[in-house]
Structure 1
């Protein structure tokens, strides 16, 4: 499977991660099956943002309310690994719910996409950049 994202959105994600070398950035991905059409940066409210991320629950709830009201669906989220590679960490795997959500992980000036296919497990998705 693959995930499509515009070159502009991808550039914004990589730039956001590069601008925060000491803490994980995070946010939401919006769109439809296999397509990321919009992104929204969210506050990382984790107790230790240098090593983990937690999307601000208020932002997450608001995004789901907008989707129920006819807005774009939340298809996943993104976060960075400031001193690591863009691959799921054991902490990421512990948070994977097996719900089909897309996880874009940023690290080392690169972005890779992963899909949560079962509790604790991911499969890598090919990232198709358009535009």
Structure 2
């Protein structure tokens, strides 16, 4: 599967990662199926935000509620690795539900995308697209 990511969403993820450094940035990806159309940064409420992330639960509730009411579809999650590569960490693998959602990870000046599947993650090829 090839994932399309709007330039605006990709740039917003990179800006969030750089702005949060040395903490992990995080947020919610919106779009449809194989397309990320929008990224919304959320608070990282984890007690150790320089090493882990936890998306603000209220932001998750609000996003899912809006989706149920006809709003944008929640397609996945974003977080940064301020001191590591753009690939799922051991913690990511342990915490991810195999629900098919997209995980976008920024690390070492790279943005990469993965799908959470049974047994871990599968890398996704991606293309940055206008609008």
TM-score normalised by the shorter chain: which range applies?
Answer: over 0.9
**Residue aligned with 2:67, SS:** helix
Give TM-score, length-normalised by structure 1: 0.96
Distance in 1 of aligned mates of 2:67 and 2:20: 29
Q: Is the 8 A contact 2:81 2:106 kept in 1?
A: yes
2:106 is aligned to 106
Once superposed, which parts of structure 1, at least 4 consecutive aligned residues long, lie more than 2 Å away? none
Mark the runs of 5 or more structure 2 residues left unpaired by the alignment. none
**Residue aligned with 1:44, SS:** coil
Give TM-score, length-normalised by structure 2: 0.96
Deviation at 1:39?
Answer: 1.1
The Cα RMSD (Å) is 0.9
1:46 is aligned to 46
Mark the runs of 5 or more structure 1 residues left unpaired by the alignment. none
Task: Give CA deviations for 1:5-34 in whole Å, capped at 9, x if unaligned.
Answer: 112221121121112221000000011100
Aligned residues: 130
